[in-house]
Chains A and B, each alone.
Chain A
Amino acid sequence: MALTLEIVTPESRVYSDTIDTVVIPTTSGEIGILPGHIPLLTQVQDGELRVTKGTVVSFLAVGGGFAQVFSNKVSIIAERAITEDKIDEKAVENAMQRAEQAIKDAKDMDPAEFEHLQSMVRFSGTQLALKRRRR
């Protein structure tokens, strides 16, 4: 018995594969999904997603969305998602610095924009942490 995992963003389908287990970061902590999990619908937080397939463990950075588990099918809709090998460390670092700078410079910034920048920083941080762990 295996799980199928599917991750989509409004822009594209990021991941689609058969896997053994997946650990999803949610608003109420990490949730590990094994085959045979009961139907579940939960809110996904910015963070890293851990996918185990055989002996290979791979990581994805996801940002804001929802996950649904239904009859051994895990479906995740996220605002942002990126697989580990697609993360461009330099670009992410730059983006993170820009966002942090913007937060510092902001005095009376729109709360929505502030929120957006902070989530940018969080997402970048997750991506960097992922990329660097391997070395």
Chain B
Amino acid sequence: MASTRDIRRRIKSVKNTRQITKAMELVAASKMKKAQAAALAGRPYAELMAKMLGAIADRVEEAQHPFLAKREIRTRGIILITSDKGLCGPLNSNVLKVVTDIKTPAKYAVIGRKGTQFIARTHRDLLADFPANDRTSFADIKIVAEFMVKQFIEGVVDTVEVIWPRFRNTLVQAPTIMTLLPLTSVKDIIADLHSDAGLAVTNATKSADNPMLFEPDAASVLEAILPLYINRELFQHAIDAKASEHSARMVAMKTAKDNATKLLGELTLEYNKARQAGITQEILEIAAAQFAA
């Protein structure tokens, strides 16, 4: 049986671990609340954009925009969203599993250090990597989106897809893959924006009866609004991934804390047993010595 001093030392270290994990759990919980609020704050934007696209879609025939053109897929372009830091349970490894399953040729742009390390280690084709700040700003994500769109236009990649841990609830984050480019149709975009805005998917409000003025004209407005849609879409996924990261970390830290508490109980019991055994032993020795005298 381990000596009481060894057990005492272990109890101390487990107590420390519990304290740290508890603090991290609380931090993650408050960050998670913020991230979820940020995800909701994007809703009015999605709703308005859907309305505007709806107004255009009724008037412009499916435009000859490069984003809408179908082309042969040789190389897939993938934006991988992971976290910068670990200690968030299986979050990153689940996402990276999806990457492992991709067998067709693909090139990657990565947000977050964990993903960058993985792509570099497995010798995949890394186009660019970006940091994953705690506060995801639209300007940061815009750079990523525009970079990838440029690769798409130049023909370096033939699709733009996003892989990110989708936030379902605090306990469940599902790694998801979604295609941003090429776009299928303006109608699908509107439906997607509606679901992001938390609205029921309805047929776009018919406003074709009212004349609407476009400045400079409908086609060029559509052309300008599509890149904005791509940026918004990626931004939405990035803040979604943030919410996932923080909730995954919170759950992982809660489990670690609970385990530490359990272990602490077991160790204390063992310590007390060892202490009692020690005392009994001593009494026995004294008694034996008395008898012998």
Q: Does A35 contact B (CB under 8 A)?
A: no
Q: What's the nearest-Cβ distance from chain A to residue B211, in Å?
A: 7
Q: What's the nearest-Cβ distance from chain B to residue A69, in Å?
A: 8
Q: Please judge, given known A-B contacts A42-B221, A112-B146, whether A66 and B215 are in contact too, CB under 8 Å.
A: no
Q: Counting chain A CB atoms within 10 Å of each CB, which of B38, B45, B211 scores highest?
A: B45
CB atoms of A13 and B212 under 8 A apart: no
Q: Please judge, given known A-B contacts A39-B210, A66-B225, A68-B55, whether A112 and B138 are in contact too, CB under 8 Å.
A: no
Q: Does B44 contact A (CB under 8 A)?
A: yes
CB atoms of B146 and A39 under 8 A apart: no
User: Within the assembled complex, what's the spacing in Å between the Cα atoms of A26 and B224?
Assistant: 13
Q: Does B291 contact A (CB under 8 A)?
A: no
CB atoms of B215 and A116 under 8 A apart: no
Q: Does A55 contact B (CB under 8 A)?
A: no
Q: Does A9 contact B (CB under 8 A)?
A: yes
User: Within the assembled complex, what's the spacing in Å between the Cα atoms of A110 and B147?
Assistant: 9
Q: What's the nearest-Cβ distance from chain B to residue A63, in Å?
A: 10
CB atoms of B213 and A39 under 8 A apart: yes
Residues of A within 8 A of B45 (CB): 8-10, 77
Q: Please judge, given known A-B contacts A9-B45, A113-B143, whether A39 and B211 are in contact too, CB under 8 Å.
A: yes
CB atoms of B48 and A77 under 8 A apart: yes
Q: Which A residues from 117 to 135 make CB contacts under 8 A with B?
A: 120
Interface of chain A, main secondary structure? strand
- Interface size range on A against B: 20 to 34
User: Within the assembled complex, what's the spacing in Å between the Cα atoms of A27 and B56?
Assistant: 18
Partner of B142, one of A68, A77, A79: A79
Nearest CB in chain A to that of B235: its residue: A10
CB atoms of A75 and B48 under 8 A apart: yes
Q: Please judge, given known A-B contacts A8-B45, A66-B221, whether A40 and B232 are in contact too, CB under 8 Å.
A: no
Nearest CB in chain B to that of A13: its residue: B44
Partner of A42, one of B41, B211, B214: B214
Q: Does B49 contact A (CB under 8 A)?
A: yes
Q: What's the nearest-Cβ distance from chain B to residue A68, in Å?
A: 5
Fill in one digit per residue for A35-70: 1 if any B CB lies within 8 Å of its CB, else 0: 000111111000000000000000000001110101
CB atoms of B147 and A38 under 8 A apart: no
Partner of A13, one of B41, B147, B211: B41
Query: Contacts A68-B52, A112-B147 given; 11 further ones with Cβ under 8 A?
Result: A11-B137, A13-B44, A28-B215, A38-B211, A41-B213, A42-B221, A68-B51, A75-B51, A75-B52, A77-B49, A116-B139
Q: Which residues of A contact B (CB under 8 A)?
A: 6, 8-13, 26-28, 31, 38-43, 64-66, 68, 70, 75, 77, 79-80, 110, 112-113, 116, 120
Q: Which residues of B contact A (CB under 8 A)?
A: 38, 41-42, 44-45, 48-49, 51-52, 55-56, 137-139, 142-143, 146-147, 150, 207, 210-216, 218, 220-221, 224-225, 228, 231-232, 235-236
